[in-house]
Amino acid sequence: MIVQDKEENVRYFGAIQFREEIAKKSLALYPMVAENEEIIETTNIFPERYAYYTCDDRLVTDGDWILTNSKGECQVVTNKKFLERFKKVEVN
């Protein structure tokens, strides 16, 4: 989806909403996102692994929007901020 900044109308971004269930299967839809793992110490004999996702060193959670500008730089915003700050642009 192409969106436009409501405050700075000259700025356009490509936008995609992050879904963790899709990312667990494949990150092909989110090439700018990296999967990271941490080992969590538990009382079990075997330590558990915790997977989390980042984009430009920022944590990406389910429902966040990943915005990419014309230079290929990405930023992550929450769904609430996305709805407040951006509007969808119709592409013909």
Torsion of Cα atoms, 27 then 29 then 67 then 75, to 10°: 10
Mean pLDDT of 35-41: 83
Let me know how long the chain is: 92
Look-up of token digits 């429902």: 63
Give the number of domains in the chain: 1
pLDDT for position 4: 85
pLDDT for position 61: 93
State how far the Cα of 39 lies from the Cα of 48, in Å rounded to an integer: 6
Write the pLDDT tens digit of every residue in 45-75.
777 778 899 998 899 999 999 999 888 888 9
Instruction: Identify the domain containing residue 77 by its residue range.
Output: 2-88
Write the pLDDT tens digit of every residue in 4-32.
888 776 788 899 999 999 998 999 999 99
State how far the Cα of 35 lies from the Cα of 11, in Å rounded to an integer: 29
